[in-house]
Chains A and B, each alone.
Chain A
Amino acid sequence: MNNISSFAYCFHQGIKNIGRNKLFSIASVATMTACLFLFGVMYFLLVNVRFMLLEAETNVGITAFFDEGVTQEQINELKTKIESYDEVKSVTYKSAEDTWEEYKESHLTEELASTFGDDNPLEDSASFTIFFKSVDSQQEMAQKIAELKGIRKVNDTEDLVKTLTRMNHILSIGSIAIIGLLLCIATFLISTTVTMGVSVRRKEISIMHLIGATDIFVRAPFLVEGVVIGLLGACIPLSILYALYYKIIELIASKFSSLFNTLNFVKTSQVFGVLAPVSICIGVGIGFLGSYFTLNKQLRKIRQM
């Protein structure tokens, strides 16, 4: 195949092949669409969970409570000391009164709160909320702060981070398994479509061989067919995902809202900057390879006839 007219002919024949095997072509595009749609959803999920995890790592700090009878002066000294650590991003002081007010607002009715009068049942709850520059240093720093004189107890978020990390890990493995299975189905369907195409054009192919068609000339229309199916199977879910991104994200977020107070998502452009080329590469790659290997088998059969 050495000129533009051959290329145009093969391309045209490839498109015609899709039309000839409408049913199988539609099934292949649909499976590829389903597969890459799920891939996209999984990707959204992973990217956003990771993003939230990062947010959690940097925005969820540890809480340090003071020993009984610690004076305000000692608290100020402790604040200065903790702030002097390189790993510390910020230290926020919350008095026992503020803690009680916050608790009343979020957990008690006005009537019930009034029964306490001026009493503060959380009088030992004055605390520091300490944020770190990196979550890696959280555990070590929590231990160091707990050992400081005047600090009674430190609550860190290690468990939350561990839970999120585990969830992220399960999601990754689960998505890879599901996507792998779907890709196998898509490859099988593309292979079946090409097999059908070859059997419909068996006579044409044998004539092509007899009148001197090169191997690539015989193969090219089927490779075009596979690539176009793969491309369609990638572009359709990408368009749907683009339109539905925030709806899907909101749905995902609602499942994990209990873990976070505020939810921030990765920007559309950031997500599609990776998802679009990856999906197109997967679609086109599977279309091409599925056709290529099926053709090897089918053309060998025709030659042996």
Chain B
Amino acid sequence: MKKEKEYLQDEFYDDEDMMDEADYPDEEADDYSMQTPVIVMEHVSKEYEGATDSQALNDVSFRVRKGEFVFIVGPSGSGKSTMIRLMMKEVSPTEGRIYVAGKDLAGLKKRQVCKYRRNIGIVFQDFRLLQERNVYENVAFAQQVIGASARRIPKEVSKVLNLVGLSNKFRSKPTELSGGEQQRVALARALVNNPMILLADEPTGNLDPQNSWEIMELLEEINKRGTTVVVVTHNQEIVNKMQKRVISVHNGVIVEDKRGGYTHE
């Protein structure tokens, strides 16, 4: 698995628009500042054309270190999901720069975006599973999309289904699964291509407390295995319990960035 991740990262690092360590924005030294940042947002603003409240983000700067677990919290409409969309290169910032794994996303050509996204796993609140396909097919789909060999797909899929605890339900259709199980399938799909970053947009939004907690434990386990995890949520209870780094966003501005609980209302 480690070898595979190195391969994907090498492929991603292959281009010229790399950011040197010296180019990173200055930041006060702390206990994890020596680690390589994998996500850097530099004075990022995002304005949506034609929207009533068009300013989604306003001069946002932060960095996420390799192997870090970060919560992005805030009320609805605060700009949390816009951050995810920016990191996925679904939208581009109106101002500022975003670097992921040292790569300036503004420099990515259209055809490079797909390769870039193979290094990022993503899960959503509504799971976004293909209803007509079973668990195995939903996860294998991510491998087929990147052109994995027919021999490799079953190995990788069974490995990741084992990780999320669904190896006994690989034949089930999403409609036969609980919300928590569906989110596990979505997680398995996000992880099967061994991404270096996992983005989760309100992953517990549709789940009961028990399932929410199980998903968060799983995300923590994935993080422990070396994947950088960024979770967008407004679930205060979980954030407080996990005691991770929390970036609080309000009206498109970062109002707090600290380790611990969800203190900003």
Docked-complex contact B128 and A207, CB < 8 angstroms: yes
By a CB distance below 8 angstroms, the chain B residues around A217 are 145, 147
The DSSP consensus for interface residues of chain A is: helix
Stretch among B39-47, B115-123, B243-251 lining the A interface: B115-123
A16 to B137, CA, bound (A): 15
Task: Bin chain A's interface residue count.
Answer: 20 to 34
A40 to B145, CA, bound (A): 41
A209 to B116, CA, bound (A): 11
Nearest chain B CB to A232 CB, angstrom units: 24
A261: Cβ under 8 A from any B Cβ: no
Tally of contact residues, B, Cβ under 8 A: 26
Within 8 A of A (CB), among B185-218: 189-190, 193
Closest to A16 in B: B132
Given known pairs A212-B117, A215-B114, the reply for A203 and B130 (CB within 8 Å) is yes
Given known pairs A6-B144, A203-B130, the reply for A212 and B149 (CB within 8 Å) is no
Docked-complex contact A208 and B145, CB < 8 angstroms: yes
Query: CB-defined interface of A152-167 with B at 8 Å, one 1/0 digit per residue?
Result: 0000000000000000
Docked-complex contact A3 and B149, CB < 8 angstroms: yes
- CB < 8 Å neighbour of A5 from B114, B115, B149, B189: B149
Given known pairs A211-B189, A214-B114, the reply for A203 and B149 (CB within 8 Å) is no
By a CB distance below 8 angstroms, the chain A residues around B153 are 5
A134 to B262, CA, bound (A): 98
A102: Cβ under 8 A from any B Cβ: no
A1: Cβ under 8 A from any B Cβ: yes
Given known pairs A1-B147, A3-B149, A9-B144, the reply for A212 and B115 (CB within 8 Å) is yes
Docked-complex contact A211 and B147, CB < 8 angstroms: no
Within 8 A of B (CB), among A22-71: none
A248: Cβ under 8 A from any B Cβ: no
Query: CB-defined interface of A201-233 with B at 8 Å, one 1/0 digit per residue?
Result: 001101111111111010000000000000000
Query: CB-defined interface of B98-142 with A at 8 Å, one 1/0 digit per residue?
Result: 000000000000110011111001100000101000000000011
B88: Cβ under 8 A from any A Cβ: yes
By a CB distance below 8 angstroms, the chain B residues around A9 are 144
Docked-complex contact A212 and B114, CB < 8 angstroms: yes
Given known pairs A211-B118, A214-B111, A215-B111, the reply for A3 and B128 (CB within 8 Å) is no
B255: Cβ under 8 A from any A Cβ: no
Docked-complex contact A213 and B130, CB < 8 angstroms: no
Within 8 A of B (CB), among A180-216: 203-204, 206-215
A2: Cβ under 8 A from any B Cβ: yes
Docked-complex contact B88 and A210, CB < 8 angstroms: yes
By a CB distance below 8 angstroms, the chain A residues around B116 are 212
B148: Cβ under 8 A from any A Cβ: yes
Interface positions of A (Cβ within 8 A of B): 1-3, 5-6, 8-9, 203-204, 206-215, 217
4 new A-B contacts, CB < 8 A, other than A207-B130, A212-B193, are A207-B128, A209-B117, A211-B189, A212-B114
A-B contacts, 28 of them at CB < 8 A, read A1-B147, A2-B147, A3-B149, A5-B144, A5-B147, A5-B148, A5-B149, A5-B153, A8-B150, A203-B130, A207-B128, A207-B130, A209-B117, A210-B88, A210-B90, A211-B118, A211-B121, A211-B142, A211-B145, A212-B114, A212-B118, A212-B193, A213-B114, A213-B145, A213-B146, A214-B114, A215-B111, A217-B147
| Chain A to chain B: the 8 pairs with minimum beta-carbon distance, closest first | A212-B118, A212-B117, A213-B145, A6-B147, A5-B150, A212-B114, A9-B144, A211-B142
